[in-house]
Amino acid sequence: MKVNIVLTVILLIIKVSIKTRAAIGTGENAAAHAAICTLLRLSTATITVEPPANNAQSEYKRILKLNMSVADSTWQEMFFKSGEKAHPHKTPKDAGVAHVHWDESWQTWPEAAQGAAKGDADTDIKASGFAKLTGEAKEIAQLEMRKIAAATARLTREISENGGDGTNFTAAINKAAYGEEALTSDTPNPDKVIVGDGNGNTRESLCVAKEGATATPTILGAAACICHKAHTSNQDDVCGQAVTQATAWNSNTNKPDATDLKTLLESCGKGGKVHLTAASLRAKLETVRNQIKTKSGDNGGYLGAFINSCNGEKTAGICLKVENFKADARASYDKIPWVSALNQLAGALEERNRHNSDDAAATQQLKEYIAHTNDLVANTNLLLQQKTAVNGGNIPQQTAAVATKDCEKQVNKTAEQCTKLGCDHDAENKKCKPKDGTENTAAGTGTGAAGEEKKKKCAKHRTDKDTCDKDSNCKWTDNTCKDSSFLINKKLALSMAAAFGNFIAL
């Protein structure tokens, strides 16, 4: 008898417990509401995002300008109409030239040519010393700057594209939040928030989140599904006392009106100033996803309180259903239209982060190139001085040959062209002429007749090291006696090659 009484009491307790749990109470969806609000507050916030960096391009333009400043005058003048620096040609076709790779590069070249035309009036060119270069020194600078320009062009091409270029982040967030890029009089449009696309337009068919066309394509629509009561006598304040609704909702004919939706939006509070990042946006989306639960025997996932249906009844469920959530929680959630839209924004911000990181690294390397460029003139002059010292201050015989023989053959040449040939310029007759002091060059140090004589003399010492060491024109090396000036010239050539190689091996 006592056993039967105990069992009866236990069954009554269980029955009462089940009945109590079956009814959805005040504040039961408060946590889900708080999660949704982290996203809705973005729609009322003043959004800022990291701007795209473009510092590498600025440094690259400086290098193009320096490269242009040592280019031949005929090349520089090609970019301007009738040589007028204020009127550059817009396209290669305008300049009367054609090249398969020039159309893209042309956009930066005229600007570089305009900067180069300023000479020492431009701070970069003045710092480099390029404006004062002539002759062999200028030729060396031209060669090295071409290499640097080519290397830096490759460097800038490797910078990843800027993510979100042209994207209005605020408008995109608002569209995901309530279906419009901006509110009219701070009031949501019910037909944008919940579009009414569903089977029979019942609340249960409207409160479904899925891929593609859906009745609840917005964040505010999802909030209405988990907060709005189904009948006037049904459960109030399921999302908390700040979210009391004036109008009941059980189908598309009496879905939440503008006033109730505004109350729901305002229940989240204003967003204030928000610096949006990909990480923070994805974290907010994950907060909402973590509120979705599943039930045995049901493949769906449910945001909000669920018993057996999302029809808004406190005895059934006040919730948003996510289709196929149990089978693939990540994929099914990411396919929800407003989740997909915000994930795209996060992806754009991640691309921008990569772009800005690449830009910063490239900018640092480009500045190092410019620093090397500013040392180019000093190093070139030093090496040329060493070369002159090795040659005893005289012009090598092969240069003298051009001066005495070939210079006179160079007609219809500019001063710049004559200088490059190792000649002076006869302005009156517009031709080249030998440099002063180069007409008689039978003697020379290390080259020419005198040089050959020294080689023969040293060769006579052969393997006699003592005799070789006593001859100031010779040097003992590799078990034989050699002309010392030849050895110095060879070392100088190697040192020049190594020095200039450093300008491009950054």
Q: What is the pLDDT of residues 286-310, one digit of tens each?
A: 999 999 999 988 999 999 999 999 9
Q: Would you state the torsion angle of the CA atoms of residues 154, 159, 160, 163, taken in this order, to the nearest 10 degrees?
A: -140
Residue 359 contacts residue 56 (beta carbons within 8 Å): yes
As given in the structure block, the two tokens for residue 449 are 């007749």
**Which DSSP category does 307 fall into?**
S
- What is the residue extent of each domain of the chain? 25-51+166-352, 55-161, 394-441, 443-506
CA distances in angstroms from 503 to 7, 130, 289, 499, listed in the order given? 93, 16, 54, 7
Q: Which residues contact 81 (CB under 8 A, 6 or more apart)?
A: 87, 88, 89, 94
- Per-residue tens of pLDDT for the chain, all 506 residues: 444 544 444 444 333 333 344 688 889 999 999 999 999 999 999 999 999 999 999 999 999 999 999 988 888 888 888 767 777 788 788 777 777 677 777 778 888 888 888 999 999 999 989 988 888 888 888 999 999 999 999 999 999 988 777 789 999 999 999 999 998 888 999 989 988 654 457 888 889 998 877 778 999 999 999 998 877 667 778 998 777 778 888 776 778 889 999 999 999 999 999 999 999 999 999 999 999 999 988 999 999 999 999 988 888 999 999 999 999 999 999 999 999 999 999 999 999 999 999 999 999 999 999 998 888 888 887 777 776 665 555 444 433 333 344 577 667 777 776 776 667 888 877 788 877 644 443 333 344 444 455 556 676 666 777 777 777 667 767 677 766 544 444 444 444 444 444 443 44
Q: Are 264 and 256 in contact (CB under 8 A)?
A: yes
Cα separation of 69 and 303, whole Å?
66
Nearest 10 degrees: Cα torsion 394, 399, 403, 409: 180
Closest CA to 261 of 189, 205, 173: 189
Bridge partners, 433 (sequence order): 424
Task: Mention every residue, 6+ apart, whose C-beta is less than 8 A from residue 51.
Answer: none
Closest CA to 204 of 313, 289, 298: 313
Residue with tokens 């600007």: 111
State how far the Cα of 264 lies from the Cα of 258, in Å rounded to an integer: 10
3-class DSSP assignment, residue 471: coil
| DSSP string covering 77-127 | HTTEETTEEEEE-SSTTTTT---TTHHHHTTTHHHHHHHHTTGGGSHHHHH
Residue among 272, 266, 262, 267 at smallest CA distance from 184: 262
Structure tokens at 344: 């795209």
Contact 345, 169 (CB under 8 A): yes
DSSP 166-233: T--HHHHHHHHHHSSSS-BTTB--HHHHS---SSTTBHHHHSEE-SSS-S--SHHHHHHHHH--SSTT
Say what the pTM is.
0.69
Give the chain's count of helices (H) and strands (E).
21, 12
The C-alpha R_g of the chain, in whole angstroms, comes to 41
Contact of 331 with 340, CB cutoff 8 Å: no
Distance CA 276, CA 288 (A): 17
474-477/480-483 β-pairing: antiparallel
Q: Which two tokens stand for residue 72?
A: 């031949």
